Chains A and B, each alone.
Chain A
Amino acid sequence: MDDRLEERLSALQKGIPLEDILKGLDQREKELEPLLRLVASVRKLPHPAIDASRANVNRHRLVMVAQRQPRRAGSVSYTFYTFYTFFRNWLKRPLFPALVAVPVVACMLVVLLGGGLWAVGRNATTAVFQAVDGQVEVYTPNSSQGWHSVVSGERVRSGSNVRTHSSASTLLVFSDGSQAYVGPDTDLTLTALTGGLGKPLQIVLSQYSGRTSHIVQPARGGESHYLVETTSGTARVRGTAFSVVVDLGGLTRFAVDTGVVVVDNAGNEVTLSAGQATAALPGLAPEKPAYQFTLLNQVTAIEGQGWLIDGIPVQVPDAVRVHGNPQVGQNVLVEGRILADGNLVADRIELAAQGEPRQAFTGQVEAAIADAMTVAGKTVQVDSQTQVTPGLSSGKAVKVTFAVEANGSWKALNVQTLDEPTEATPEPTATPDLNAKPSLSFEPDELEATGCGSDFTFVGKLLNTGEEPKDYAANVLLGYTLIKGADFVEWVDLVPAGWERIDAGQQVDFDVHMTLNAQWGSAPAGSEIKLRVYIAQETNRPEHHRTRLTLTVVSNCNVTATPTATSTFTPTPSTSGTGTATFTPTPTISGTGTVTPTPSGTPSVETNCTGANPHPTGQRLAARYGVPYEEIMGWFCQHYGFGEIDLAYSLSREHNIPVTEVFALRASGMGWGQIKKALEEPEGTDNVPGHGKPNKKP
Chain B
Amino acid sequence: VHPPRTPFSAFFLNDTFSRLTPLSFNEGIHFRYSGNDMPADIPTDLIARAQMGEPAVIGALYERFHLNVFRYLYYRLGDQYVAEDLTSEVFIRMIRSLSAYQPQNVAFQAWLFQIARNLAIDHYRKMGVRDEVKLNDDQAPHGEDVDAAVDRKLTSDRLQRALAKLTDDQRDVIVMRFVADMPIAQVAQSLHKSVDSIKGLQRRALIALREILTEWEVSYV
Cα(A519)–Cα(B183), bound, Å? 68
Which size bracket describes the interface of B in this complex?
A: 35 or more
Given contacts A14-B36, A14-B37, contact A249 B16 (CB under 8 A): yes
A268 interface hit (Cβ, 8 Å): yes
- A48:B154 contact, CB within 8 angstroms: no
Question: What is the size, in residues, of chain A's interface with B at 8 Å between Cβ atoms?
Answer: 69
| Among B110-118, B138-146, B164-172, B194-202, the stretch in contact with A | B194-202
Q: Of all chain B residues, which has the CB nearest A45?
A: B156
- B70:A66 contact, CB within 8 angstroms: no
B155 interface hit (Cβ, 8 Å): yes
Measured between beta carbons, the chain B residues less than 8 angstroms from A319 are 11-15, 20
Measured between beta carbons, the chain B residues less than 8 angstroms from A141 are 89, 92
- B200:A2 contact, CB within 8 angstroms: yes
Partner of B199 from the list A6, A71, A248, A251 (CB cut-off 8 Å) is: A6
A430 interface hit (Cβ, 8 Å): no
- B95:A14 contact, CB within 8 angstroms: no
Cα(A266)–Cα(B2), bound, Å? 6
B128 interface hit (Cβ, 8 Å): no
- Which of B142-200 touch A at CB < 8 Å? 154-156, 159, 174, 177-179, 181, 183-184, 196, 199-200
Measured between beta carbons, the chain A residues less than 8 angstroms from B52 are 71-73
Report the minimal beta-carbon distance from A574 to chain B, rounded to whole angstroms.
Answer: 67
- A59:B25 contact, CB within 8 angstroms: no
- A41:B67 contact, CB within 8 angstroms: no
Measured between beta carbons, the chain B residues less than 8 angstroms from A67 are 53, 55
Candidate in A1, A10, A249, A267 with the most chain B CB atoms within 10 angstroms: A249
Q: Mark B55-71, 1 if CB is under 8 A from A, else 0.
A: 10011001100110011
- B12:A320 contact, CB within 8 angstroms: yes
Cα(A14)–Cα(B34), bound, Å? 11
Taking chain A's interface residues, is the majority helix, strand, or loop, or is none over half, making it mixed? loop
Cα(A62)–Cα(B210), bound, Å? 39
Cα(A13)–Cα(B6), bound, Å? 44
Report the minimal beta-carbon distance from B102 to chain A, rounded to whole angstroms.
Answer: 5
A544 interface hit (Cβ, 8 Å): no
- B20:A71 contact, CB within 8 angstroms: no
A605 interface hit (Cβ, 8 Å): no
Q: Mark A69-111, 1 if CB is under 8 A from B, else 0.
A: 1111111100000000000000000000000000000000000
- B11:A35 contact, CB within 8 angstroms: no
Cα(A624)–Cα(B151), bound, Å? 95
Measured between beta carbons, the chain B residues less than 8 angstroms from A248 are 17
Cα(A9)–Cα(B182), bound, Å? 11
B28 interface hit (Cβ, 8 Å): no
Q: Mark A35-52, 1 if CB is under 8 A from B, else 0.
A: 101110111011111110
Q: Mark A271-292, 1 if CB is under 8 A from B, else 0.
A: 0000000010111110100000
- A51:B84 contact, CB within 8 angstroms: yes
- Which of B198-221 touch A at CB < 8 Å? 199-200, 202-203, 206-207, 209-210, 213, 220-221
Given contacts A2-B196, A62-B92, contact A43 B3 (CB under 8 A): no
Measured between beta carbons, the chain B residues less than 8 angstroms from A279 are 8
Q: Of all chain B residues, which has the CB nearest A5?
A: B203
Given contacts A2-B199, A42-B178, A146-B127, 19 further A-B contacts (CB under 8 A): A2-B200, A13-B183, A38-B220, A41-B220, A43-B179, A43-B181, A45-B159, A47-B74, A47-B179, A49-B71, A54-B84, A59-B62, A65-B95, A66-B58, A73-B52, A251-B11, A279-B8, A281-B11, A284-B22
Q: Enumerate chain A interface residues (CB-CB to B < 8 A).
A: 1-3, 5-6, 9-10, 13-15, 34-35, 37-39, 41-43, 45-51, 54-56, 58-59, 61-63, 65-67, 69-76, 139, 141, 144-147, 248-251, 266-268, 279, 281-285, 287, 317-320, 345
Give me 7 A-to-B residue pairs in the complex whose CB atoms sit less than 8 angstroms apart, sorted by A's number. Answer: A38-B206, A42-B179, A69-B96, A141-B89, A281-B22, A287-B8, A317-B12
Q: Which 4 A-B pairs give the minimum distances between C-beta atoms?
A: A317-B12, A41-B220, A267-B2, A2-B199
